[in-house]
Chains A and B, each alone.
Chain A
Amino acid sequence: MAPSLEAVKVTKKFGGFTAVSDLNLKIQGTKCVGFLGPNGAGKTTTMKMFTGLITTTSGNALINGVDVAKDKKAALASCATLIETPEIYPALTPKEAMTMLCEIRGVPPEERNKRIDEALGKVKMQEWEEKKVGSFSKGMKQRVNVASTLLSDPDVIILDEPSTGLDPRGMSEVRDIVKSLGNRLVFMSSHLLAEVTEVCQEVALIDHGKLLVYDTIENVTSRFAGSSGEVKIGFARPLEIQMGAVISNLGGVTSFSRVNDRQVVVKFDPKVLTQEKLFEAIAGLKAGAQTFESSSGLEDAYLSLIKETL
């Protein structure tokens, strides 16, 4: 059976405040789904309801078809969760901390060492397994935390902002690990749209406790990102006027503006001019083009959807 996460008419109220309202979401299959929304949108509340950390006010949260409220133990048996960056006892080694989790998760004793080695290998922390966690960087701790989620060989992995607080290298490491999880349903909340674009195939967007959209990134981008592309290009040398004219006269370019003598912003119609062709044309100018910052389609879609609900 394909792994699944399902929210059926889920509502969560904290006193008079409705954090999540009548949420219906069904995710099925082995894939990575980004869970997006502004602060306070209801992402963490939803994830906590899926993991049984908080109860729903009404409705049902199901993991692999098992209602978390009715049989938490069975529902969580096939699901691993990482909420932000939890601490690990600094005096323990990753192996000791993970052995304890194996015990709690009921991993047979004869399999524990193998699973720990495999999980630590996956996050490239094997050589640190006997070192005390207290000396680890935040990124290393998070790698151990991610490895811990793999111990029970779960079908479903819920990650709540796994890159929060990490430096760029740590973020990149976590992204690589998430990408390598494979054959699982990964449900990951994040504020980093570039990260979601790189790692996930689908996105669910929530705001004010309501689900705005759940679809593939391509579909969300094409439906909500608008019709124009935009790229900021940086040059090593001042861009000559005639070279600027070459770019502005390219078919499909709808707008060309200079930020300064070494930076320009080009807007274009992606239906006429693809980003790839634009880059080829600019590289052909031999003008020392150095940097290309393109606006993310997902970011545009996100802003467009969130703006609509303001």
Chain B
Amino acid sequence: MSLAADTYHLFRRAIKKVLRNPILLFFSLLQPIIFLVLFTQLFSKFASVPGLFPPGLTYLEYATPGILLQNGFSSALQSGTSMVDELNSGMLEKMLVTPVNRSAILLGRLLSDAFRVVVQSVIILVLAYILGFNVAAGLGGVVSMLVVIAFFGLAWSGISLAIGLRTRSAETVFGIGGFLTFPLLFMSDALVPTSAMPSWMASISGVNPISFAVDAVRSVSIPSTALSTLSLSLPGDVASALGYIAAIAIVTLGATLYLFRKVVS
């Protein structure tokens, strides 16, 4: 069996596990809808603040990329809990005593996480479209957005998996995940432009990976006229974002790989 075949089987196994858990499936699909409706309603008045947004840009158009990334970020951080479950229940050992390729165990898990994030993102996009959101760059832009989001999800899954492998505690994964989610989200331009932030927070947003990925998504979703007047804190194009996310992925997935090897050897 090749690495690709093993990865495919384990990817299917992980997806089937989610599909066969109706409660998890329901909340996985509901979560992005809640995020979209909640945030766009809660902060909708931002668009009417003079000078904050370019004329004609709605808060839905501004925030949808942020909500997409925030959802991907939150979902990815849950990845470690599944790994903890497999470690503690003996399911991982059950895999390891078969001739399966060790790397496929990790790859199958990561790809299933990325796939879940993409499905959730499509749900958000469809709902946002119904509410009036459009992707300026068309279908190609949608694909670029999904690539950035999936790649971002993979990089952040690495953090969650590394914590899970290191601590073997689902509570710790949740605790650290929750601790990271909100400061990173609110100190980025995902939901609020940096011009509306205190200067120190705007500075942090300037180096926040969420800002970088969100701005890359905005670069294909928002019309270029509006984009040019919107103060994005970072270069904000898809290629740069992928490079930046790749750097994060090298660190997070590198740590995951190191810890996974320790667990399986």
Q: Is the CB of B17 within 8 A of A89?
A: yes
CA gap between A104 and B99 in the complex, in Å: 8
Give residues of chain B (9-42) contacting chain A, Cβ–Cβ below 8 Å. Answer: 9-10, 12-13, 16-17, 20-21
Assuming the A-B contacts A53-B264, A104-B1, are A83 and B10 also in contact, with contact meaning beta carbons closer than 8 angstroms in the complex?
no
Q: Is the CB of B96 within 8 A of A52?
A: yes
B6 at the interface (CB under 8 A from A): yes
B91 at the interface (CB under 8 A from A): yes
Question: Which of A53, A77, A91 contacts B17 (CB under 8 A)?
Answer: A91
Q: Is the CB of B90 within 8 A of A104?
A: no
Question: Which of A54, A87, A148 contacts B90 (CB under 8 A)?
Answer: A87
Nearest CB on B from A13, distance (A): 14
Per DSSP, chain B at the interface is: helix
Question: Which of B16, B101, B265 contacts A92 (CB under 8 A)?
Answer: B16
Question: Which of B9, B17, B264, B265 contacts A104 (CB under 8 A)?
Answer: B9
Give residues of chain A (136-171) contacting chain B, Cβ–Cβ below 8 Å. Answer: 145, 148, 158
B139 at the interface (CB under 8 A from A): no
CA gap between A87 and B88 in the complex, in Å: 9
CA gap between A81 and B100 in the complex, in Å: 13
- Hey, what's the 0/1 contact readout for A118-149 against B, CB within 8 Å counting as 1? 00000000000000000000000000010010
B225 at the interface (CB under 8 A from A): no
B98 at the interface (CB under 8 A from A): yes
Nearest CB on B from A43, distance (A): 15
CA gap between A87 and B94 in the complex, in Å: 9
A84 at the interface (CB under 8 A from B): yes
Assuming the A-B contacts A72-B99, A73-B99, A104-B100, are A53 and B1 also in contact, with contact meaning beta carbons closer than 8 angstroms in the complex?
no
Q: Is the CB of A52 within 8 A of B97?
A: yes
Number of interface residues of A (CB under 8 A): 31
B93 at the interface (CB under 8 A from A): yes
Nearest CB on A from B105, distance (A): 10
A106 CB contacts on chain B under 8 angstroms = 1, 99
- Hey, what's the 0/1 contact readout for B98-109 against A, CB within 8 Å counting as 1? 111100000000
Which B residues form the contact surface with A (CB < 8 A)?
1, 6, 9-10, 12-13, 16-17, 20-21, 89-91, 93-101, 264-265
A-B residue pairs in contact (CB < 8 Å), sample of 25: A52-B96, A53-B93, A53-B96, A53-B264, A54-B265, A55-B265, A73-B101, A74-B99, A80-B97, A83-B90, A86-B91, A87-B91, A88-B91, A91-B20, A92-B16, A92-B17, A96-B16, A100-B12, A100-B13, A104-B1, A104-B9, A104-B100, A106-B99, A145-B94, A148-B94
Which A residues form the contact surface with B (CB < 8 A)?
51-55, 72-74, 76-77, 80-81, 83-89, 91-92, 96, 100-101, 103-106, 145, 148, 158
